[in-house]
Amino acid sequence: MVSSSSDDVVIKVEDLVKSFGDLNAVDGVSFEVHKGEIFGILGPNGAGKTTTLECIEGLSEPTSGRTFVLGMETQIEPENVKQRIGVQLQASAYFDYLTLEEILNLFARFYKRRASTSELLERVGLLDKAKSRVKTLSGGQQQRFTIAATLINEPEVIILDEPTTGLDPQARRSLWDFIQSINADGRTVVLTTHYMEEAEFLCHRIAIMDNGKIVAMDSPENLVRALPVPFEVKIITGSEYNLDALSNLTGVQDVVDDGEGTVRMRSSDAAATVSGIMAWSGQSGAPVKHLEVTPSNLEDVFLSLTGRGLQE
């Protein structure tokens, strides 16, 4: 279970700033990750997600601010931090000419605590590939291997940078299950993503990042609930009817009409809006051929916070 008492803080980031020349890639970021959480950093490319992780991992030196892992400050004792975390880097590869088994055995030697190579491979369903090379694996298998490799030192925390980027939906789904099973072992997981479904499905808490800053941080449910317009109501009617009345219905914030009879309304009160539509239909004689109510999602949260879409 996720608790939030201050003595179970696994990762702590304080006023982190990382500049490259004039650009502040990370611009005053602070957050805490608690034991047993899956914590997601959601944001578009270039938001500063990877740089934030690299400072925590000891791969990048902060311009100012501090990061702590398991009570150890990364910048002061990087070796000790590295001993106890598992790291997956975005788009990083492994040695071409070693087998999966040889790679894991080699990496195991870098650490004090070592997991069993064959158990790790078995866990990701790659035991029969133990003597194969990485390039013979499919994209999904490669990514599972990469994440299995982060577990080689039995880490308390694993940090994954865009673990599912580039995978097909099925492979992504299977990787989500794997990440949840790692979390079920009691390991804290920090991941970055620009897929809002991924953040919604996997993460207990999310920090939304944009232009080097955290613009919101909470559970996915709370973030959506806090939106001023948490629903979208869509109807299909005839294009010949006067739609002006729709924007005056209870709860409706704005109306988008595609000119061919499909109308989308963002609403703060779905129930009131729907009964308003029914009343409008009865009075004007306009048919309602289709009615759909969708709760808003993290995409809408991002849109309302930044005025832009996540994938832009």
- Piece of 85-93, 180-188, 274-282, 302-310 that binds other proteins (CB under 8 A): 85-93
58 vs 276, which CB is nearer to other proteins?
Answer: 58
At its nearest, how many Å lie between other proteins and the CB of residue 119?
Answer: 20
Residue whose structure tokens are 């809006």: 273
Please select the residue that binds other proteins; options are 106, 215, 272, 291, rule is CB under 8 A: 106
DSSP β-bridge partners for residue 33: 11
Residue selected from 19, 28, 30, 59 as contacting other proteins according to rule CB under 8 A: 59
> Which span sits near other proteins by CB under 8 A: 80-88, 171-179, 246-254, 289-297?
80-88
Please report, as a single letter, which amino acid is at residue 172. Answer: R
Nearer to other proteins, 84 or 194 (CB): 84
- Is residue 20 a contact point for other proteins (CB under 8 A)? no
For other proteins, the closer of residues 58 and 220 by Cβ is 58
Nearest CB to other proteins, comparing residues 98 and 305:
98
Q: How far apart are alpha carbons 82 and 137 in whole angstroms?
A: 27
3-state percent breakdown (helix, strand, coil) of the chain, nearest 5: 35, 30, 35
Q: How many residues bind other proteins (CB under 8 A)?
A: 22
Q: What is the dihedral of CA 182, 183, 188, 190, to 10 degrees?
A: 80
98 makes contact with other proteins (CB under 8 A): yes
Q: Could you give the CA distance from residue 126 to residue 144 in angstroms, rounded to a whole number? A: 9
Within the chain, residue ranges assigned H as helices are 49-57, 78-84, 100-108, 117-123, 139-150, 169-184, 196-202, 220-225, 270-284, 298-306
When binding is defined by CB under 8 A, the residue of 79, 128, 244, 260 that contacts other proteins is 79
Query: What are the angstrom distances between the C-alpha of 12 and each of 68, 75, 83?
Result: 5, 13, 17
Verify binding: residue 131, other proteins, rule CB under 8 A: no
Q: Which position among 102, 122, 156, 257 is part of the footprint of other proteins (CB under 8 A)?
A: 102
How distant, in Å, are the alpha carbons of 33, 35, 71, 208 from that of 3? 10, 8, 18, 21
Q: Which residues bind other proteins (CB under 8 A)?
A: 57-59, 79, 82-83, 87, 89, 91-98, 102, 106-107, 109-111
